[in-house]
Structure 1
């Protein structure tokens, strides 16, 4: 009799323990689901922001600036001009801004702005 009572008590203990373990698994599943949803939403938000920035800069995904050899009479620039700055200079010129204004807004020298405008962006 004593052995059967001990086995019944152990069985009841494990049943009660299994009820608590199921709840912890559900809690972990819920946390993982919430985390994956949050990551998915943040990824989509970043994609939307990137698309907006690309549209503002009017760049295509495979945008490349054609490279041209520097003219021998002109001193060579210390660093090549970034393609984004080139497109910005061209767009500001289309809007009718003066070279001095474009230079101030794009952080390029006036000579660099003139060079971009004369070459049409092929720097």
Structure 2
């Protein structure tokens, strides 16, 4: 009789253990699906970021300056040019615009002249 109780107890333990083992397989499958989904989303974001970076690089228009430097200056990005024009239309002085845009007064004047904002 004691032997049958031991067998029943072992059977019950095995049944409970099988439930937990099956759940770990389900959790592993879910974890793998989430991992794959996260990887796909990351790749999608990388592709979108690369496209945005390319669009920003296309928008660079060199602005000629009237300075007498013999070396070639870096072109001013179109976003900065738009910021300069916006600040000028809001009534800011060239000194204020140069400070806000982190440019020299000559560069700001050159941009405004090239865009026809000042004469």
1:25 aligns with 2:25: yes
Distance 1:70 1:105, change over 3 A: closer
User: 1:69, 1:111 → 2: CA distance?
Assistant: 11
Unmatched segments (≥5 aa) in structure 1:
1-11, 51-60
Change (3 A) 1:109 1:69: closer
Gaps of 5+ in 2: 1-10, 50-54
- Give the superposition deviation at 1:87: 1.7
CA distance in 2, matches of 1:94, 1:108: 18
Aligned residues: 97
- Distance apart, 1:94 and its partner CA: 1.7
CA RMSD of aligned residues (A): 4.4
1:84 equivalent to 2:84? Answer no
Q: Shift in Å at residue 91 of structure 1?
A: 1.5
The more displaced of 16-25 and 106-115 is 16-25
TM, length-normalised to structure 1 = 0.51
Counterpart CA distance in 2 for 1:95 and 1:111 is: 20
